[in-house]
Every structure is written in structure tokens, then in C-alpha cells.
Amino acid sequence: MPPRIALALVLHNHQPVGNFGWVFEEVYRRAYEPMVGALERHPAVRVGLHYTGPLLTWFRAEHAELIDRIRALVDRRQVELLGGGYYEPILASLPEADRHGQLVRMAAEMEALFGRRPRGAWLAERVWEPSVPYDLAGAGYEWTVLDDNHLRAASVKEDAMWGAYTTDDQGRRLTIFGTEQGLRYRIPFGGVEDLIGYLREHATERGERVGMMGDDGEKFGSWPGTFEHCWGEGRWVDRCFEALDANGDWLRTVTPSEWLDRDQPIRRIYVPTSSYVEMTEWALPADESNLFHELLARAREERRPEARFLRGGMWRDFQARYREVNDLHKQMLRVSAKVAAMPDGEAKQRALDHLYQGQSNDCYWHGLFGGIYIVHMRMATLGHLIAAEDIADTERHARDGGGGDDCVVVRVEDFDLDGLPDLLLEAPDQTVLIDLDEGGGISSWDLRASRVALASVMRRRREAYHEKLVRHEREGGEDDGGGDAPRTIHEIVKVKEPGLADRLQYDRHERRGGLVHLLAPEEAMPGPDASDLAAGRYRELGDFVDSPFELVEPISRGGVSDEALDPVDHAVGLGPAAVRLGRGPVVLRRHGGLEGPHGERAVSVTKRIALGGHRLDPSLSFEATVENRSGEDLAGFELGLEWSFNMMGGGGNPAAYYERTSGDGDVPLRTRHDASGELAETGHVAFGNTDAGVRIEVELEPSARCTWFPVETVSNSEDGFERAYQGSALWFRWRVEVLRADAQTFTVRFRTRQDRDLSLARAEPDRITPARDH
């Protein structure tokens, strides 16, 4: 009998919550449907398949016949389906109850659709922490698939990765398969003959080895250059399956559970916190990421034995790298606590579904491309969290008989868990989160009825791949499409427009609303224009932009007693520092300084923020008072109030706009929301998005110079480097002249109009855009 070996193929198929319907359809045609067809043509080839919740939802709506075809493959024992978290969350990032809820929901859904409860679970982004066995086993799963990087971290040698291992946590056991590196590099990017030869080299007389290759199903047709290679003239998949059939006397394909029913794990291991090696590289700061990449590549090229011990960062580091990721994660935790406190019933189920969709992993990190920078998916994720919180708050207020339209709950707590207090304003129509320690800026401003996260705008920051872009353009800028042979998306360098390296700009501070700038007098007339502000070409005289503000009211008015709170407030962990207001303002103040020719002069800035309006027309009033405490007259400098808004206006979206008038009675002029514009002096400007049904009118008192410009990052994507709209920066500026011991106040009033309340829809709209809308 010749040496024998088994091959276990596991293909993970996923589309993010909030992705466009035409993307689903395109990947379906290029990867998902062709693979099912290939399996139907080669009934002897056994594989594991994983489809995430968003894909299953879309299949049912758009291609129900595929569900039937997959069920037929399962019934004839050719395909084993995997479970996991329903909406593909990073399990380790979730509260324990949500981990379990997502896992058992997927298991139940798979059993209902395909008649079998899954034994194996796909682990999103292979983000592993030592507690994962407890979660997976507790939900009824027996095994999962990790990467070779995980096994190296557990001291498994290269030639010992052809098998499964067992691990445990808190008395619960889990089996681990590790994707073998050589198989991952060859499937589907190497030659079929080379793959068969590689498997033959690792076959043994006992036939106890299994080679696991678990990876993205999209690499079989959807990744750049792979469709022709896999399904066109290259016919890689069919040729591979034909070769597997032809070598069936010594090479058998198995599903993971089939292998476990016949063979035993090799031994016990304990895997430290890890993910695939690229993820651990991306989690590092930009400069360290490039250094780690170079060190690891050099060590591998030189075949140095220490290469296997090189470790990058961990997935949680994305919360340290990106303020926006941390804010999203902590908002999710806040909402989860509220939903968990709801009584069982239909309302809780609706809230849970939105919460689970808001936990989809894609916007909680950023790698080579995508992630938190993809604006439509970020807004969809936030929209689901807004919906879940709205349902939970509405149900609690109805149950407790409180929370009228004119009620604002003000909470002081460390919401972002940085050790410093934040301020949360909650009303039935909107929520506003203020970071007291960083300029008293508005970190989030969420409209409940339309579920729009107005302030979700990414900071422009240095990324590791920017160095690759700069080098690419310096060397001539020729696209590297990989030549004749397909290459992984990690290797290809392309640009979607020339001169992108010149567009790399980085913000001085986090993007928040209501930030106070005091600008130099020599720049105040005429002062920086939109291009200057976008590039940061202005001189800051004050220390108010990102320095701490103190909360003056309402806490200073006698504090808050436990009796001021609902019991549920304590139950959901929202803390005791809270008070109910009508629509009165919260007041923040900073005693700071203004740079001058003879030293710093004492200046105070007071912010008054008040919420108003109703469900469909909420408002926010913002007053900034500049007080002269220097003992001398101050004049000639400029006050700038900076805001950042997301109206989903990228790509010249005609639905997103700015609207301006040049005088009384003039016809309003609309311009794109992703364009720059300026009004030399105005008391009114408006902006909105007709598709989202949101319009915001801004009133200024006194009239101000109004400037706006798009906030665009330079990001990588499957199609190459490109500009990506993240939102719009909106500045209001006034000349300031303040006598000694005097003050001057400037007011901005935002009046919002929404033409729909999504909570009233009988069937709440799915965030997946139908394919026919493309």
C-alpha cells in the first residue's frame, strides 16, 4: 500500500453587514455559485463550508435555490457545514451572553435550514483568546480551524502541523485544526501538480496525517485575477478536483468531523492570544508594523529558526490604535448592557437582532484595506446599535412610566474606559457623547428615528501601507497586477488615480464636534481657506482644541443622589453620576491661555450644549463664550468652531448635499457633500441626505464665515489605493474683540428634520441593498 494522507478543505464565505447588494451578487456569481457547481460535478470531493448570517439572509432573499443545492450536498455527506457567531463577530470582544447568543443562533439556523446542527465553528478572523474553548464548547461546538501562526505560538513544530490538537478552558474541551502553511500558499495560487506533489511528500505509511486548508472562499474567483484562474481558462478548481479524484488510492478528501470520527488529536496544546500573522502585523502602530513585516520577511527568506518565534500585536490593539474603533466597541458594550436588562419578549428579540448585527466584526479593525474606513458599513453597524439602544430605552421608559419628550438624562461616566470621565446626553430623539478630557468635543451624535450616526468621521492618520504607496509612486507608479500568475491581495500594488501620495494628509487631533480653535491674527484676515484648513495650515494660539474641559452644570448644582435614578440605571451598569434634566443645557468650561507677543494671556471658554425638539425634529444648541481674564483688551484673533459630519456623501453621491443662499429670497444652491465650499458671511447653511431622509439647518449668531471640505483618507482596497470619503469638516469662524473682564458669545443652532421613523416600519428595512438597485 502506498503512503497515504488526507486533505480537509474548509472554505469560509462572508459578506459584511451593510455591504452593497451588488457586491453580494457579484461575489455570488464569481465565487459562491461556481464552487457549489464544482462540488456538484465532483461528488467524491468532500469539503467543509461556512456561510455567515448576512450571506444566509441574502441567499434566502435573492437565491433561495442555492440553499436547496447546498442542502443536497449536505444530505449526501459530501459537505459539512460549519457554524460560528451568526453575524461573524470577534467572539472575544463580546460580553459572554452575546457570545453564547450568536453561537447558538447560528447553530439553530443551520439545523433549521440544512437538517444538521454544526459540530465545527469558524472563528472570525481566527482571533483566538484562551477563553474561546469555553465559549465554543458551551454552545455545543466540538472543533474549530486556526492558522499555522497559532500552532507555532503553542510550540508546535512545522512538521507536526498535519493533524489536530486538543485544548480546554474551565473544564470544557475543544479540538483545533491548524491550516498548514504550504497548503495555504498553494491553494489556489500554485500549480495543481505542485499541490499533489506536496501532499505526496507528506504522506506516511500509516496514513495518520491530515492537511487542513481553511481560508476565504472569496479567493476562488472574487479576489483580483482569480476568476479566470479558477473558473475561466485556468480551470484551477476543476483541475484540482480532477487530480484529487485521480489520486484517490492514496489521497482522500475528508470533512473535519469525518476525520475526527476515525482519528485522534495528536496531543494537548494551549494557544496564547493570537490570530493569523497578517492580523498581528496590522494591529501594530504604523512604524512598528512595517518594521515587523521587514524583520519577519527577512528571517523567513534566510530560513532563520527564530522566524517562528516572531510575534506581532493582538487584535485588541485596534482599540488602542483607533479612537473610532474603541468608541464603537464601547458603544456596543453600553447597548448590550441595556438589551440584556430587557424582559424577554418580542421587543427584546428585535433589539437583540440589531445588537448582533452591530457586532459584525468588519468595522472593529482595519488591515490591508477596508474595516473601519468603509463608511457605508460603519454607518450600517452604528445604525444597528442605535436601533437596539432605541428599542431598549423605549421599552424601559414605557415600563417605568418615565422619559417624556422633554426629558434628557445626563450621565457622567468613563464610557470609553480610558480612566477619565465622559458625558452622555440621552433623549428620546437623540444621544450625544462628549469627551470632557479631549477638548470637550462631541464624539458621537446619533439620531434615533433615522438611525444616522452624524458624527462618525474617521481621523486621517498614518497607515503602514502609505509607505508602500509613496515608494510605488516614487518608482514610477506602474500598476503591479501580478503578471500572468494570480497573486494574493497582500502582494498586488495598484492605484485607482495618479498622485495619491500627494494627497496624504494627517489630522492634528481626533475628529469631534464643537472643537474650539483660537487662530492667529495675521491669518484671520482673510485667514485660512478650505484647502488650508484641510491641510492643517493654520497657527493655533489657544490650548482648547484637545485639552480637558470641566463639567460645570448640572453636577455643580448639588450633585446627584441615588434617588434621582431609575433602578434599571444601576442594573445596566451606567453608574450613579446621572441626573434628569428638562431640555436645559450642560455647561463645560476651560480656563486656558491665548498665545500673545508678550506671553500667554488668560482666557476662558465656556460651552453650553442643550438638546431640544422631538422625535422627527431634534435640535442641538451650542454656545461658545470667550471670556477675557487677562487684564488687557484682546482683539484681532479668530474663533473657529470645528465640526465633523457624515452624510454618506462619497463618490459625488447626489443624495448628500450642502445648501446655501447668498441673500434673503435667493434660490438655494446645492453642492455635493464631498466637495469644498465657503460662505464669507452667513447666518444660515444646511446639509443633508435625501436617501436617509435627514436634513440639518444651521443658524449662526452672529453671522459667521462658513467653510467646509471633505475628509478623505487614502486607503487600500481590493481594486487598489483610492481616496475614501469619511465625512465633511464644517468650520464656523468669527473675529473676536473682547475687552478686559468682558466676554463674547457665539451661537450655533442645529435643527434636524427627518422624514421617517424607522422604528415604526412594520418590517424594518434590511441594511443590505438589493442587487437590483445597483
Q: Which residues are catalytic?
A: 125, 216
Neighbours of 91 (CB within 10 A): 27
For residue 250, give the 3-state DSSP assignment: coil
The string of DSSP letters for 338-401 reads HHHTSPSSHHHHHHHHHHHHTT-GGGG---SS-GGG-HHHHHHHHHHHHHHHHHHHHHHHHHHT
Query: Per the structure block, which three cell numbers stand in for 132?
Result: 474561546
Q: Which residues pair with 591 in a beta bridge?
A: 604
The Cα–Cα gap between 600 and 586 comes to: 28
Q: Which residues pair with 644 in a beta bridge?
A: 729
Give, in order, the Cα–Cα distances in Å from 571 to each of 128, 574, 575: 30, 8, 9
Query: Is 204:4 a contact under the CB 8 Å cutoff?
Result: yes
Q: What is the chain's percent helix, strand, coil content, to nearest 5?
A: 35, 30, 40
Does 554 sit behind a cis peptide bond, omega within 30 degrees of 0 on the bond before it?
yes
Query: Is 720:481 a contact under the CB 8 Å cutoff?
Result: no
The Cα–Cα gap between 276 and 146 comes to: 8
The Cα–Cα gap between 377 and 176 comes to: 32
| Dihedral sign of CA atoms 424, 363, 52, 182 in order | negative
Query: Per the structure block, which three cell numbers stand in for 761?
Result: 416600519
Burial class of residue 471 in the structure, from the number of CB atoms within 10 Å of its CB (0-12 exposed, 13-18 middle, 19+ buried): exposed
Query: Per the structure block, which three cell numbers stand in for 732?
Result: 464656523
Query: Is 229:486 a contact under the CB 8 Å cutoff?
Result: yes
Sheet holding 430-435, edge to edge: 452-453, 441-447, 430-435, 422-426, 408-413, 578-581
Residue 704 phi/psi, 5-degree rounding, is -135, 165
Would you give the DSSP letter of residue 758? Answer: G
Query: Is 339:351 a contact under the CB 8 Å cutoff?
Result: yes
In 3D space, the residue among 725, 524, 550 whose CA is nearest the CA of residue 634 turns out to be 524
Query: Is 365:125 a contact under the CB 8 Å cutoff?
Result: yes
The Cα–Cα gap between 114 and 72 comes to: 9
Would you give the DSSP letter of residue 31? Answer: I
In 3D space, the residue among 30, 352, 51, 47 whose CA is nearest the CA of residue 187 turns out to be 47
The Cα–Cα gap between 664 and 22 comes to: 44
The Cα–Cα gap between 658 and 646 comes to: 12
